[in-house]
Amino acid sequence: MKLPEITILDEKNKLLHTVSEEIKFPMSTEDKKMLHDMLKYLEMSQIDEYTEKYNLRPGMGLAFVQVGIPKRAFVICSENDDKTFDKYIVINPTIVSMSEEMIYVGEGEGCLSVNREVDGIVPRHARITVKAFDEDGKEFTIRVREDLSVAFQHEIDHLNGILFTDHINPKCPYKDADQMREI
């Protein structure tokens, strides 16, 4: 497999702190191609052979804004136990419901735009329901939980100009951990 040519913006780039614009349908051919390139990049970043060959950091999600396109779209590529991948293309998402139960990623969240270790926890809802569109403009609703719920919330934050580091309390990075479930 050949690695798609993608440049991921660093957290210092001001574009990452802007609110992305709604996508109009039909989508452009270039935007559709970029979505699929981003998925391929994420898949390759989770396969040891390619992480070594291309010096990649593993990633599960990537928002358009992270590649310099301030539009409301993201992709998620989630590896299953059998080494297959579930792939999601999510355009113009809206969270329609969320669980009261809060969770956090025990080893900490990461981001392909944040190239440093970050201590602290990011409170996330254990389950959310999202209404969105696919690349052809077809509306769908999806309920995600646990890791996928975290990934969806992380990417939706990107579309709203928020980085996961913005959620971490600088004075008390593990604040309220005892009131949430670690995953």
Instruction: Give 77's pLDDT tier (boundaries 50, 70, 90).
Output: very high
* Residue 155 among the catalytic residues: yes
pTM of the model: 0.96
The CATH number for 60's domain is 3.90.45.10
Residue 7 pLDDT = 96
Asked, for residue 2, whether it belongs to a domain, the answer is no
Sort strands 181-182 and 102-104 into parallel, antiparallel or unpaired.
Answer: parallel
Active-site residue identified among 43, 109, 135, 155: 155
Asked, for residue 3, whether it belongs to a domain, the answer is no
Work out how many domains the chain is built from and give that number. Answer: 1
CA dihedral 90, 94, 100, 106 (to 10 degrees): 40
Asked, for residue 8, whether it belongs to a domain, the answer is no
pLDDT digits (tens, 9 = 90+) for 14-71: 999 999 999 999 999 999 999 999 999 999 999 999 999 999 999 999 999 999 999 9
Rounded Cα distance between 172 and 161, Å, is 23
CA dihedral 70, 10, 63, 166 (to 10 degrees): -100
Domain that holds residue 169: 14-182
Asked, for residue 9, whether it belongs to a domain, the answer is no
Rounded Cα distance between 130 and 88, Å, is 12
CB 144 within 8 A of CB 131: no
